[in-house]
Amino acid sequence: MTAEIISGTEIRKTILAEIKADVEEMKAKHGKVPGLVTMLVGKDPASVSYVTLKVKTALSLGFHEIQDDHPEDIPESDLLALIHKYNNDPDIHGILVQLPLPGHIDEQKVINAINPDKDVDVFHPINVGRLMIGGDDARFLPCTPAGIQEMIARSGTRTSGAEVVVVGRSNIVGKPIAMMMAQKGAYANATVTIVHTGTTDLSVHCKRADILIVAAGVPGLVKPEWIKPGATVIDVGTNRVGMNKTTGKAILKGDVDFDAAKEIAGKITPVPGGVGPMTIAMLMKNTLKAAQYALEDIR
């Protein structure tokens, strides 16, 4: 039987509509809307396109949005001073610094300078620690892992007691999603295994996964025969494997052989149109939450 496709494009639409309704409510109740500043240094084409999409999405939701672009050679101290200014601006609830930054700027120093209550990308060590503690302490969830968990939840996949295998141990995807799925609570409470480049045999672990989350960045890494029949497969991999000569757009492939895997899995995310569209939606959700916390004066 062919798997049910979990469409990130569709789920994103629902989430953005929910956020928009909450923004309207906030406006009516407090006369305020969520404020997001997006800071871009330099003109890296991928970063420009990500920031453009973030700005467009924020504006479409009725957020107060400041696009703060800077030349490649901005001194680190100037960038830190700007972050300090936004930390103290009551109309700004979320500060997003687009990464990577040029070599002369210490990325960690910049992340550490952001007020954790405005750290909507969830890279500040305090927020990483809060995620580890879980429960109410985990105020914000990092955007891509949060998108993955939403897709699992909204597709009706059972997580409690499930075997979850995460391929990849990066700080932005593998490690946080593994921790989130292992926490006690809704859409989690799973038994989690993390596999990576040091794992002797990936297939052994993947084969027992009720939920297989793949974030390796290696096209076609997961073979169809490694998938447990009926499993939910979340393919985070976004690999540029060529260029469409007609559209001029990159051809994207995931880490899973989608065509073969969809004949075995119960539910599966496509690439593109799966996890990708969810990330910015979750960034908007974090900005909304940051504004709600600030307006209710919750610390």
User: Contact residues for ligand NAD (CB under 6 A)?
Assistant: 144, 167-170, 172-174, 196-197, 202, 215-218, 221, 236-239, 275-276, 279
Q: Quick check: 76 and 109 in contact, CB under 8 A?
A: yes
For ligand NAD, which is the closer residue by CB, 149 or 279? 279
Between CA 221 and CA 229 the distance in angstroms is 18
For ligand NAD, which is the closer residue by CB, 40 or 221? 221
Taking the complex as a whole, how short is the minimal distance between the CB of residue 272 and ligand NAD, in angstroms? 9
Query: What does 35-71 look like in DSSP terms, one character per residue?
Result: EEEEEEES--HHHHHHHHHHHHHHHHTT-EEEEEEE-
Taking the complex as a whole, how short is the minimal distance between the CB of residue 282 and ligand NAD, in angstroms? 9
Pairing of strands 267-268, 4-5: parallel
- 129: enclosing H helix or E strand: helix 125-133
Task: Give me the half-sphere count of Cα atoms (radius 13 Å) on the Cβ side of residue 151.
Answer: 36
Taking the complex as a whole, how short is the minimal distance between the CB of residue 236 and ligand NAD, in angstroms? 4
For ligand NAD, which is the closer residue by CB, 96 or 172? 172
For ligand NAD, which is the closer residue by CB, 280 or 288? 280
Give the catalytic positions in this structure: 54, 98, 121
Nearest 5 degrees, angle CA 16-CA 129-CA 274? 30
Taking the complex as a whole, how short is the minimal distance between the CB of residue 67 and ligand NAD, in angstroms? 20
